[in-house]
């Protein structure tokens, strides 16, 4: 039987409105090179001090510094959600300790930037409602931060203001909504260190771990993750949710095909 992990409690600061998290704002891991950090946030060249973060969801912006979250992992793909979801708008929400200007922008089909909203926030929750009506032909939404004092941002993310509803299929039948669950596939070929690091990363994040039904790892090499230090501990965390399959080197296609087969 697959063991299901209970998701952590989500607090809403006393607000009874339903907020469904769509996408978290994440920071890079410690020690990542500059080109990887740029996938998460962009620090202005004129900054006199670097931004700092002790974990992956809390960032401190020094007074006078600027940062943009117009990045691969943290900008919100608004046109996709407009096309494939039931939402008419999305919420950007974060906690701000200190004083900072939060400015929200969107892009157009030609890449031009358009200001959407903004506010100066002092020791409060910042929340912006962004309509999705402008994204029929493409576009993203993101936010920039300018710190007036040292400002710490926590629990930032993109949210829906309601739980998902059922879907009407082309034949008129109604399906869903469905519980949010995932099976993670990690095909590997002679990269035991990276394979174990991936397992650790999945297990260390409570929100991700709570949604995982199974982890499937086809091992196609002769240097096995099972021989790597830390493997036993990483696998033990998942218990009977973890499944390893050793097979010949069938390439990336063979690895992912095994995942889909299982």
Nearest Cα to Cα of residue 108 among 69, 136, 71, 139: 139
Query: Contact at 8 Å (CB) between 153 and 123?
Result: no
Overall domain count for the chain: 2
Kindly report, residue by residue over 190-222, the tens digit of the pLDDT.
Answer: 999 999 999 999 999 999 999 999 999 999 999
Question: Has residue 81 been placed in a domain?
Answer: yes
- DSSP reduced 3-state for 194: helix
124 and 245 belong to one structural domain: no
The 3-class SS string of 210-250 reads HHEEEEEEEECCCCCHHHCCCHHHHHHHHHHHEEEEECCCC
32/191 Cα distance (integer angstroms): 19
Q: Domain range holding 254?
A: 182-261
26 and 146 belong to one structural domain: yes
Question: Has residue 103 been placed in a domain?
Answer: yes
208 and 244 belong to one structural domain: yes
34 and 139 belong to one structural domain: yes
Question: Has residue 165 been placed in a domain?
Answer: no
156 and 239 belong to one structural domain: no
Predicted pLDDT at 17: 62
Question: Has residue 12 been placed in a domain?
Answer: no
Q: Which residues of the chain have pLDDT under 70?
A: 1-18
33 and 145 belong to one structural domain: yes
49 and 148 belong to one structural domain: yes
Question: Has residue 220 been placed in a domain?
Answer: yes
114 and 238 belong to one structural domain: no
Question: Has residue 91 been placed in a domain?
Answer: yes
241/108 Cα distance (integer angstroms): 43
149 and 191 belong to one structural domain: no
Predicted pLDDT at 12: 36
Question: Has residue 208 been placed in a domain?
Answer: yes
CATH number of the domain that residue 37 is part of: 2.60.120
53 and 122 belong to one structural domain: yes
136 and 68 belong to one structural domain: yes
Bridge-partner residues for 38, per DSSP?
none
What six digits make up the tokens of 233? Answer: 């501990």
DSSP assignment letter at 239? G
Nearest Cα to Cα of residue 235 among 260, 203, 187, 211: 203
């Amino acid at each position: 039987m697959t063991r299901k992990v209970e998701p952590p409690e989500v607090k809403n600061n006393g607000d009874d409105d339903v907020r469904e998290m769509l996408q978290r704002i994440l920071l890079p891991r410690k020690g990542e090179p500059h080109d990887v950090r740029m996938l998460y946030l962009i620090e202005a060249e004129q900054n006199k001090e670097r931004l700092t973060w002790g974990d992956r969801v809390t960032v401190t912006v020094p007074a006078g510094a600027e940062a943009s979250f117009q990045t691969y992992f943290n900008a919100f793909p608004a046109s996709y959600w407009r096309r494939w979801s039931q939402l008419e708008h999305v919420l950007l929400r974060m906690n701000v300790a200190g004083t900072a200007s939060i400015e929200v922008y969107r892009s157009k089909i030609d890449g031009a930037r358009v200001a959407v909203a903004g506010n100066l926030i002092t020791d409060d929750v910042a929340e912006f409602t962004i309509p999705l009506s402008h994204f029929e032909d493409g576009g993203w939404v993101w936010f920039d931060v300018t710190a007036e004092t040292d400002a710490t941002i926590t629990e930032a993310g993109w949210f829906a203001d309601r739980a998902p509803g059922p879907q009407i299929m082309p034949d008129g039948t109604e399906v869903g909504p469905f519980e949010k669950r995932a099976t993670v596939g990690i095909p590997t070929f002679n990269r035991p260190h990276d394979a174990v690091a991936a397992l650790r990363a999945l297990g260390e994040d409570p929100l991700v771990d709570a949604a995982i039904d199974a982890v499937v790892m086809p091992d196609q090499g002769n240097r096995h993750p099972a021989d790597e230090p830390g493997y036993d501990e990483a696998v033990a965390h998942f218990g009977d949710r973890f499944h390893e399959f050793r097979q010949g080197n069938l390439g990336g296609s063979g690895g992912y095909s095994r995942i889909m087969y299982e």
